[in-house]
Amino acid sequence: MKGLWFSELQTSTLKISCMTKSVLCSEQSQYQNVAVLDTLPYGRMLVLDDVIQTTVKDEFIYHEMISLVALNTHPFPRNVLIIGGGDGGTLREVTRHPAVEKATLVEIDEKVIEASRKYLPQIGSAFDDPKAEIVVADGIKHVQEHENEYDVIIIDSTDPVGPAVGLFSEDFYRQVHRALKDDGILVAQTESPFFNEELVSSVYKSLKKIFAISKVYLATVPSYPGGLWCFTMGSKKYDPEQVDLEKIPPLNTRYYNPQIHKAAFVLPNFIAELLK
């Protein structure tokens, strides 16, 4: 950080900067530097190892889209696992879905949960929800220890560095397939189609080998590099594009709605090309 400007170095030639009022916390955990900044354009912002994770201003887009597309594709998403997601935003969306009975959050770094509880209460509002179970552990290990258990598994990870590297591997997706029930669904955040083309393509191709149905969908998250963001779904049975939109339960959302559910799967040609 220099003066009042915070900059995320996206590549050696691209920085994303925003004006910052104050640093609410900055602490080195066993895994990463965990910071919460109060910024002018986005309000409070969670930053891990100098990389923007989520902001109060636009978090609803990412958290609704990583959760609700899968939850409304599965007809009975009772038991849901979230890997990563220590800020709690995905947990908030999952616990407030009427069909969900249990949501297990497996986050490797308890300092992220602590920082979110304390400084991002709007995002980390569901840690004490009766449907929620919080496990501080490596998501890779957790998945290896469970079989035929979950209806939906959401991989809400950091970028593929450090402990998150394994969350983008084909071997891990096979373990996730095993941990899902016979009609289960996996969804993962899969980065930017502009700056991570290789990753978008390889995750999709891995899931295509493992799951009956594999699809990429999009949302626009202003605080992420390039804005346009990919999510990749692997489904054993249900096609997210065949959902009866009239059956989607009424949800108090700010971005997601039945039309967005459908439209999110329409891909620009350059992204469709990446998936060939």
156 touches ligand SAM (CB under 6 A): yes
Asked if 104 interacts with ligand SAM (CB under 6 A), we say no
Using the rule CB under 6 A, give the single segment among 7-15, 151-159, 205-213, 235-243 that binds ligand SAM. Answer: 151-159
240 binds ligand SAM (CB under 6 A): no
* 55 is a contact residue toward ligand SAM (CB under 6 A): no
Crossing angle of the two packed helices 197-210 and 170-179, in degrees rounded to 10? 40
Shorter beta-carbon distance to ligand SAM: residue 189 or 196: 189
- The contacts of residue 92 (CB under 8 Å, 6+ apart) are 63, 123, 124, 125, 126
Q: Are 210 and 170 in contact (CB under 8 A)?
A: yes
Applying CB under 6 A, the span of 108-116, 144-152, 206-214, 243-251 interacting with ligand SAM comes to: 108-116
Q: Is 107 annotated as a binding residue?
A: yes
Q: How many residues would you count in the chain? A: 276
151 is catalytic: no
109 binds ligand SAM per the rule CB under 6 A: yes
Q: Which amino acid is at 166?
A: G
Q: Which residues pair with 189 in a beta bridge?
A: 231
Beta pairing, strands 180-189 & 150-156: parallel
The residues near 258 (Cβ < 8 Å, ≥ 6 apart) are 245, 246, 248
- Indicate the residue whose CB is closest to ligand SAM: 84
Residue 163 among known ligand-binding residues: yes
Query: For ligand SAM, which stretch binds (CB under 6 A), given 82-90, 127-135, 176-184, 232-240?
Result: 82-90
User: 33: burial class by Cβ within 10 Å (0-12, 13-18, 19+)?
Assistant: middle
Instruction: Give the nearer residue to ligand SAM in terms of CB position, either 66 or 207.
Output: 66
CB 127 within 8 A of CB 49: no
Decide if residue 93 touches ligand SAM (CB under 6 A). Answer: no
199 contributes a contact to ligand SAM by CB under 6 A: no
Feature table: binding site: 32, 63, 87, 107, 138-139, 156-159, 163
Feature table: binding site for S-methyl-5'-thioadenosine: 32, 107, 138-139, 163
Q: Which residues bind ligand SAM (CB under 6 A)?
A: 31, 53-54, 62, 83-87, 106-109, 112, 138-140, 156-158, 163-164, 167, 189
Feature table: binding site for spermidine: 63, 87, 156-159
